[in-house]
Chains A and B, each alone.
Chain A
């Protein structure tokens, strides 16, 4: 599903933040991406959700070279990826329901077709009673769950989560991890970027360790 070959990334004329990365992420797999702060986790995630292009090397996503994907196909590729941002990126003027339903709405789906799915998912993540609330009144954990629900509502083939438990307490982090493993069981390829060793110890999965711009993989 994902293949990196000798990938390097630098910002402007600065030093390379990612160097000679070569690895594969198989379809339907679950992995953690970890490493110390500043190791390049977020930069690697940006390459994966098509926010940046590599300075050198090949990044292949869904068997397509990301630098060669025509602009017209970018939208359909993005719709196959669910992204959970570290800072949630919820729209404050939309309710919990509307934030979660946003990917379906922009895809042109009629609300009557997805209403029950969204409500069901919000119940599943424990936000059944916060369905009409706006993000500014939600707690950090609730926002995190809304962001996760928005990322998974379209049943993406690939789920990328950048520090998804960075803002929640350990019990909530454990609960969120359960959501990801459940998704994985339903067939989604999952990549979670985290520096929380405790979280990784709760689930036996492949670990990709980034250090000083280089990657080491522990299956």
Chain B
């Protein structure tokens, strides 16, 4: 056996001497040609076009939802602010009381309060316009007991003491009632909150659907790359290492897909904003603006949809990482 070993060593030496010179030159050349270490998980194995499309669509839907929620939020806030800026005082006709004098007294009382920006009584013509849809343009103030209205514009940042103003008007005048629109404000708030909660619910569903899509896609990718997982497993890769390699790939995919989907949604909102501006002076534009505001989702809306990019990318990375670890656990259970 010793002889055989000596002989073998001699053969190895001879064999390698023949090739050594050639190999030295070749290795030096190849060493120069070496590329930076390639990715352990090939991009082609993960980034299937269908998965890219699915995550892009999910991101688009999520961004649309966030944009619509932001629009509702802003519009309802605008409505609330508009309503909250005014207080209406209604002076009902009372027997033997001069309605015009009572109206002037309300104007005077209100004007004396801090936080009141302006006070004005609606003219007969304005009141006729308000009543026209119900009783036509034949209103005669002599024959009908039509109440008068006083509009008090207040400073929303420094509002007057409404309770004190209400009590003051009630004590000094006959037939006057103060409406600070609190009921309408409350209804608007409830409506807006309902829409926002529904929007967030839809957003949640979209994100859950995204996570499920990624989970199934990861399983598919892991099955397609089973050889890589197995080789990594047997050369001593830890679960964390394998999960990081696959997770990194999916994170990149998520980032790319989310950017596409969110970008498309942002372009859509921008387009709608610009289109709405074209119709701003038309009856259709006025109607749309009455319903949806000026269609601009605002800085908060854009910030919200841009925030979706890292959220969806992170979700993609974390979901795939969890799935990869599950696959490795199954592999371990099967093997040992």
Q: Which residues of A contact B (CB under 8 A)?
A: 49-53, 66-67, 69, 71, 74-76, 78-79, 83, 89, 91, 93-95, 97-98, 101-103, 105-107, 111, 115, 119, 122-124, 126, 128-132, 150, 175, 178, 181-182, 185, 203-205
Contacts and interface: CB of A to CB of B under 8 A. Distances in A.
B182 to A, nearest CB: 64
Given A52-B335, A128-B24, A97 B34 contact: yes
Given A203-B8, A204-B4, A50 B336 contact: yes
B183 interface: no
Contacts of B241: 106
A111 B230 CA distance: 22
B52 interface: no
A83 B236 contact: no
Contacts, number: 119
Majority SS of interface residues in chain B?
A: helix
Given A97-B34, A131-B27, A132-B35, A102 B231 contact: yes
A97 B235 CA distance: 15
A150 B235 contact: yes
Contacts of A119: 27, 30-31
22 contacts: A49-B234, A50-B336, A51-B335, A53-B335, A69-B336, A74-B336, A75-B236, A78-B234, A78-B235, A83-B234, A89-B231, A93-B42, A94-B40, A98-B38, A102-B40, A106-B238, A119-B30, A122-B27, A130-B30, A131-B26, A203-B4, A204-B1
A78 B236 contact: yes
Given A93-B42, A102-B231, A132 B236 contact: no
Interface of B: 1, 4-5, 8-9, 11-12, 15-16, 19-20, 22-24, 26-27, 29-31, 33-35, 37-40, 42, 44, 227-228, 230-238, 241, 332, 335-336
A67 B230 CA distance: 20
Nearest to A203: B4
Contacts of B31: 115, 119, 131
Nearest to B335: A51
Contacts of B237: 75, 106
Contacts of A83: 234
Nearest to A67: B336
Contacts of B234: 49, 51, 78, 83, 89
Most buried by A among B31, B34, B235: B235
A176 B19 CA distance: 15
Given A74-B336, A94-B40, A107-B236, A129 B8 contact: no
A66 B336 CA distance: 8
A119 B40 CA distance: 19
Contacts of B335: 50-53
A91 to B, nearest CB: 6
B238 A95 contact: no
A75 B228 CA distance: 16
Contacts of A51: 234, 335
A94 B38 contact: yes
B27 A89 contact: no
A104 to B, nearest CB: 9
A101 B38 CA distance: 11
Q: Lowest 4 A-B CB distances belong to which pairs? A: A129-B26, A128-B23, A131-B30, A128-B27
A131 B29 CA distance: 9
Nearest to B36: A111
A78 B233 CA distance: 9
B336 A53 contact: yes
Nearest to A126: B19
A111 B33 contact: no
Given A106-B241, A204-B1, A71 B227 contact: no
Given A67-B336, A115-B34, A124-B16, 7 more contacts: A53-B336, A78-B234, A91-B227, A91-B231, A93-B44, A132-B30, A185-B9
B334 to A, nearest CB: 9
Contacts of B33: 131-132
Nearest to A177: B8
A162 to B, nearest CB: 12
A53 B15 CA distance: 41
Contacts of A150: 235
B236 A95 contact: no
Nearest to A104: B235
Contacts of B11: 178
Contacts of B8: 178, 181, 203
